[in-house]
Structure 1
Amino acid sequence: MNNAHLYRGSLATIILKLLNEHDTMYGYEIVQRVDELTHGELRLTEGALYPSLHKMTAQGLLEVKVIKIGNRIRKYYQLTESGTKETVKKLAELEQYIKTMRALVNPRFR
């Protein structure tokens, strides 16, 4: 997508929303779900996703569960209580932002 930079500020919100809906997910699963939901319009890269996951974990918003599947180690992420509260806050902020942008782009939405 040419406008991927518009999504950068929303990456944490996207991750929080998906984890709120799906309880636990691993990184590649998040990438695939975003691709499905956006019909390929937004493509997350590992270089964007994993630093965000690590930062959110360090902030206490996510917990990580490591599970061995065959010979592979998979890290599953899930929301903490703080992460659930932050999800509500971030979604409200995003809704307000969308409303404001809609009013700027098309004044009839005011």
Structure 2
Amino acid sequence: MKTNNLYKGSLTTIILKLLNEHDKMYGYEITQKVKEITKGELNITEGALYPSLHKLEADGLVDVEFRKVNNRMRKYYMLTELGTQETVNKLAQLEDYIRNMRALVNPKFRTLD
């Protein structure tokens, strides 16, 4: 999708929201869920996903858990309490951004006080 750049600033919010909805997920599962939800319109690459996940972990917003699946270790990510709080904050910021962009591009969404 040519508008993937529009999503770059929202990647952290996307990851936090998915982890909030699904308790715990592994990296590939996150990429596939995004693809499924957006009907293939948004494809998150490993090169974008894993640095974001590692930063979320370093910032204390996610914890990791290793599980053996089919004789291989799989790294699952889950929100910490701080991560749950940050999800609420990020979603509020995104909703404000969407509201403002809608008003900028479509006059019918403008309110004049």
Q: Give TM class, smaller chain.
A: over 0.9
Tell me the amino acid that sits aligned with residue 12 of structure 1.
T
> Computing the radius of gyration over CA atoms, which structure comes out larger, 1 or 2?
2
Q: What CA distance in whole angstroms lies between the structure 1 residues aligned with 2:23 and 2:9?
A: 23
User: Where does structure 1 lack aligned partners over 5 or more consecutive residues?
Assistant: none
User: Where does structure 2 lack aligned partners over 5 or more consecutive residues?
Assistant: none
**Per-residue deviation, residues 40-95 of structure 1 (Å, max 9, x unmatched):** 00000000000000000000000000111132110000000000000000000000
Question: Percent of aligned pairs with the same residue?
Answer: 69
Which consecutive segments of 4 or more residues in structure 1 shift more than 6 A? none
CA RMSD of superposed structures (Å): 0.5
Q: Using structure 2 for the length normalisation, give the TM-score.
A: 0.96
Question: How many residue pairs align between the two structures?
Answer: 110
Q: What does residue 9 of structure 2 align with?
A: 9
Q: What CA distance in whole angstroms lies between the structure 1 residues aligned with 2:2 and 2:12?
A: 20
Q: What CA distance in whole angstroms lies between the structure 1 residues aligned with 2:2 and 2:58?
A: 31
Tell me the amino acid that sits aligned with residue 21 of structure 1.
E
Q: What does residue 76 of structure 2 align with?
A: 76
Q: Using structure 1 for the length normalisation, give the TM-score.
A: 0.98
